């Protein structure tokens, strides 16, 4: 019973904000012109999220990262494989275009660790879970999101400029994705600063953290508004992607962690497994809204995987006996 209450403590606020956004969308609380979701979405993607990701990335020290290299590589390999599995399933089974397939891949691989991880691991490990949360945030925002964004940009440019060479399209897409997308270059900059051992003044991180703290709540609120606009859809695709995220990804992590010789009784193994088991993060709805594709599916996957977390995360906490 204790494990169920622990999961409900984390999930209930998420569902509450999701329903609040759904209510606001149904009531047209921000107007009827249809642009309100895009405006709020832009606030998150351009200002709140980059600040949050930068602060989260620089919060881990170079020494801490080196001491947890096994966990770092286990999560990195796991989430990269998960991304391409999700992309392939959406592309070849559900016949999605590459933009939609890339967002589906992100739905499978983008664990909500940076958003919900502190609440989950903090309740079990206290501050000792901070490094694991920082590591998964770093992996997602330095490797997984840029990969998905580059694939999306290449596909969009391919449709808009067919006369350009493949090399030129990829180069332009990488430039656009890295240097002109704040939620990509902000954590990349943070990653570089960590490895150069450059300390960021506390006043800077505190200032950025103030706007960054709005990210999770507003992103989930946007997901609720998106569901209100596009309606919840319980299709075979939505169920498949949610099952891949909630069940296949943690199972994949177990295999990869054992391959990297992480002890099954270590805190690193437990923390990595719990982070891998978390539902899809709000990033999928933010990107779907930005590119105006896969919006109904993304918001439905986020809602379903979040509700499913009550079962999967509770079961894992009980199995680990933490």
* 232-285 residue pLDDT tens: 788 999 999 999 999 999 999 999 999 999 998 899 999 999 999 998 988 888
Please check whether residue 269 is in contact with residue 206, taking contact to mean a CB–CB distance below 8 angstroms: no
Please check whether residue 102 is in contact with residue 83, taking contact to mean a CB–CB distance below 8 angstroms: no
Q: How far apart are CA 239 and CA 138, in angstroms?
A: 28
* 82-130 residue pLDDT tens: 999 999 999 999 999 999 999 999 999 999 888 777 777 777 776 677 7
Q: Is the predicted pLDDT of residue 217 greater than 60, yes or no? A: yes
Q: Which of 83, 36, 63 is nearest to 252 (CA)?
A: 83
Please check whether residue 307 is in contact with residue 281, taking contact to mean a CB–CB distance below 8 angstroms: no
pTM of the full structure: 0.81
CATH of 2-320 given 3.90.1150.10, 2.40.10.10, 1.20.1530.20, 3.20.10.10: 1.20.1530.20
Q: Is the predicted pLDDT of residue 155 greater than 70, yes or no? A: yes
**Mean pLDDT (whole number) for 135-157:** 84
Ordered by start, the domain boundaries in the chain are 2-320
């Amino acid at each position: 019973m204790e494990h169920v209450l622990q999961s409900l403590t984390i999930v209930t606020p998420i569902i509450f904000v999701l329903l609040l956004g759904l209510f606001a969308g149904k009531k047209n609380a921000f107007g009827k012109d249809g642009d309100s979701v895009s405006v709020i979405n832009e606030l998150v993607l351009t200002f709140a999220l980059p600040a949050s990701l930068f602060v989260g990335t620089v919060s881990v020290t170079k020494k801490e990262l080196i001491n947890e290299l096994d966990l770092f590589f286990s999560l990195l390999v796991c989430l990269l494989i998960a991304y391409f599995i999700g992309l392939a399933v959406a592309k070849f089974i559900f016949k999605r275009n590459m933009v939609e397939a890339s967002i589906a891949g992100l739905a499978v691989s983008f664990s909500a660790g940076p958003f919900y991880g502190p609440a989950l691991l903090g309740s079990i490990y206290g501050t000792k879970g901070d490094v694991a949360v920082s590591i998964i945030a770093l992996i997602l925002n330095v490797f997984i999101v840029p990969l998905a964004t580059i694939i999306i940009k290449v596909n969009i440019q391919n449709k808009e400029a067919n006369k350009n060479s493949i090399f030129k399209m990829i180069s332009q897409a990488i430039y656009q994705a890295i240097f002109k997308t704040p939620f990509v270059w902000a954590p990349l900059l943070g990653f570089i600063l960590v490895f150069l051992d450059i300390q960021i003044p506390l006043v800077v991180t505190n200032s950025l953290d103030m706007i960054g703290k709005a990210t999770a709540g507003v992103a989930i609120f946007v997901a609720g508004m998106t569901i209100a606009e596009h309606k919840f859809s319980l299709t075979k695709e939505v169920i498949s992607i949610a099952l891949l995220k909630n069940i296949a990804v943690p199972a994949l992590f177990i295999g990869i962690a054992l391959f990297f010789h992480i002890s099954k009784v270590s805190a690193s193994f437990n923390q990595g497994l719990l982070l891998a088991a978390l539902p899809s993060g709000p990033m999928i709805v933010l990107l779907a809204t930005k590119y105006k594709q896969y919006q109904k599916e993304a918001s439905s996957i986020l809602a379903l995987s979040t509700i499913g977390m009550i079962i999967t995360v509770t079961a894992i906490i009980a199995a680990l006996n933490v």
